[in-house]
Amino acid sequence: MTFTRSIKIAPSILSADFANFGQEIQAIEQQGADWVHVDVMDGHFVPNLTFGPPAVKAFRPHVKTVMDVHLMISPVDAYIDAYADAGADILTAHLEAGPHIHRTLQAIRGAGMKAGLALNPGTPAEAVTHLLDLTDLICVMTVNPGFGGQKFIDMTAKIRALRSMIGDRPVHIEIDGGVTPDTAPLVAAAGADVLVAGSAVFKGGSVTDPAPYGANIRAIRDAASAAAP
């Protein structure tokens, strides 16, 4: 993974056809997805239950770009090796998921993955001050985590603060929640470079008619790129 600040679109396969994950992943990549975002939920840290390590491992052979695995689980540390074995390129843990996030980030990097740090809407940017040098990605939640299709929460002030704190460090700012062609320019202008989108990418298409995926990805990318600094 070569670091760049160009706009990257990371479709969330939580919005894909659950009976056709392999084909859906191939379809979104062929239609221009930069990364593939996998939302892992435990029914405890967030009010939903999704994929475990065996599912993520099954997705891996189909992902030719970057597999971006977002853990909305608590605790995290006991599962880091399992997601490394499953093939995650980036493993993101929530700052709110446990008392020893510094150790969690060290362990993720120690297992050979890029370390992501996610912040819920109520968590301030300043919470990452002493963690930036252990972090490859900061995921700013623009919805309360747990399920797709929620309304966008404006976190542009937090994004701008993070962008200033990051400076010239090679740390991505990822946005997760409510990303559409309307909201993408707001977060891109504030300094975000990775946009996670679920329903906004998958709406109107299917594995037998993937062209709408490409049109949706281009619409989000074009809107964000036009506003990016």
Whether cis (ω within 30° of 0) applies to the bond prior to 11 is: no
Q: Per-residue pLDDT for 63 more than 80?
A: yes
* pLDDT score, position 141: 98
| b/e burial code for range 21-57 (CB count within 10 A of at least 16 → b) | bebbbbbbbebbbbbbbbbbbbeebbeeebbebeebb
Q: What is the pLDDT of residue 50?
A: 94
Q: Which two tokens stand for residue 179?
A: 């990303």
| Amino acid 125: pLDDT | 98
Please, are residues 171 and 132 in contact by the beta-carbon 8 Å criterion? yes
Catalytic residue among 34, 39, 42, 68: 39
Return the pLDDT at 11: 98
* pLDDT at res. 215: 98
pLDDT the model gives residue 150: 81
> What are 138's two structure tokens?
């900061």
Is the per-residue pLDDT at 148 higher than 80? no
Q: How far apart are CA 82 and CA 76, in angstroms?
A: 11
147 pLDDT higher than 90: no
Render pLDDT for 18-39 as a digit per residue (tens, 0 to 9): 999 999 999 999 999 999 999 9
133 an active-site residue?
Answer: no
- pLDDT at position 69, please? 98
Structure tokens at 12: 């969330």
User: What pLDDT, on a 0 to 100 scale, did the predictor assign at position 146?
Assistant: 84
Contacts with 185 (C-beta within 8 Å, 6 or more apart), sequence order: 223, 224, 226, 227
Catalytic residue, from 34, 42, 68, 176: name it. 176
User: Which pTM value belongs to this model?
Assistant: 0.97
Q: Average pLDDT, stretch 136-140?
A: 98
Split at pLDDT 50, 70, 90, the class of 3 is very high
DSSP 95: G
Question: What is the tens place of the pLDDT at every residue in 157-170?
Answer: 999 999 999 999 99
- Write the pLDDT tens digit of every residue in 75-117: 999 999 999 999 999 999 999 999 999 999 999 999 999 999 9
